[in-house]
Amino acid sequence: MRYREITTNHVVMAKISKPVFCLIGVLGFIFVFGISCASTQIPPALDKQAKQNIKRANLSLDSELTEYFLEIAFGSEYKVGDGLVTWNKPVRIKLLGDFTNSDSLEVSNVISELNTILPTIKIYLVDEQPNISMYFTNRKGFQKNAPKYAWNNSGYFSIRWTPKEKHVTRGKILIRSNQSQKRRNHTIREEITQILGLMNDSERYPHSIFYEKYSTATSYSSIDKEVLQLWDILIPLSGY
């Protein structure tokens, strides 16, 4: 099993420069999908069904979407990515700790939106047999459960996945409880979205849920939805 820890909001440690990150990500993407950062073509390795899905989703693989997808999907905030990480089973999230009714409602809203955007994978809020434990806790809880460089952050997640197939098996989310509800809602949306496998942040789009700097965005931008749709389309090609 391989273990990865990701933090958000945002302690800068050993950040990879954009050109290096893009090159590393593209090498993996070229190997699997035959596409480069500058490509405006549908990857040649996509099968007929994938092309149909792209058309049905009204996605246009222009350079803007392709480059952003590569940046978000192939890596984490602090480490070079190993390739596309995906789920091959339903995501089952259980809430733990000091969560409020508003927190629970926001988690349900995010799950509902994602289940609409992502037809390939299903996400559930459960009381038992979770594969994602979502803790709402204070700074002491972060100090106990997160790496030392993440203890002062508003959100954190970690996942485990199989080294060969890169299928996520389980994970953990931490949400700081002592912050405004709007900020909690943003962090809830960001952590649930990124724990799916879209693990990197970016400075490109301030209204994106993947925005690297401080944000209170509580909805998906247009390009966020396109990134999610493209990721969902490519899941079957990764061995889902």
Per-position DSSP letters for 25-67, written without gaps between them: HHHHHHHHH---TT--SPPTTS-HHHHHHHHHTT----HHHHH
Each residue's pLDDT tens digit, 153-195: 889 998 898 887 788 899 999 999 989 999 999 999 999 999 9
In the block, tokens 């007929």 appear at: 48
Please say if the pLDDT value at position 136 is more than 90: yes
Residue 223 amino acid letter: I
Q: How far apart are CA 105 and CA 184, in angstroms?
A: 12
Q: Which of 20, 72, 38 is nearest to 224 (CA)?
A: 72
Q: Which of 121, 143, 11, 15 is nearest to 76 (CA)?
A: 15
Each residue's pLDDT tens digit, 16-51: 223 233 333 333 343 344 333 333 344 455 556 566
Q: How far apart are CA 158 and CA 175, in angstroms?
A: 12
Phi–psi pair at 67, nearest 5 degrees: -65, -40
More confident residue, 230 or 150: 230
**pLDDT tier, 96 (very low <50, low <70, confident <90, very high otherwise):** very high
What is the percentage of the chain residues whose pLDDT exceeds 70?
70
Note the pLDDT of residue 208. 94
Q: Which of 206, 231, 207 is nearest to 221 (CA)?
A: 207
Residue 238 to residues 157, 199, 201: CA-CA distances in angstroms? Answer: 22, 16, 22
Mean pLDDT of 59-72: 81
Q: How far apart are CA 150 and CA 146, in angstroms?
A: 6
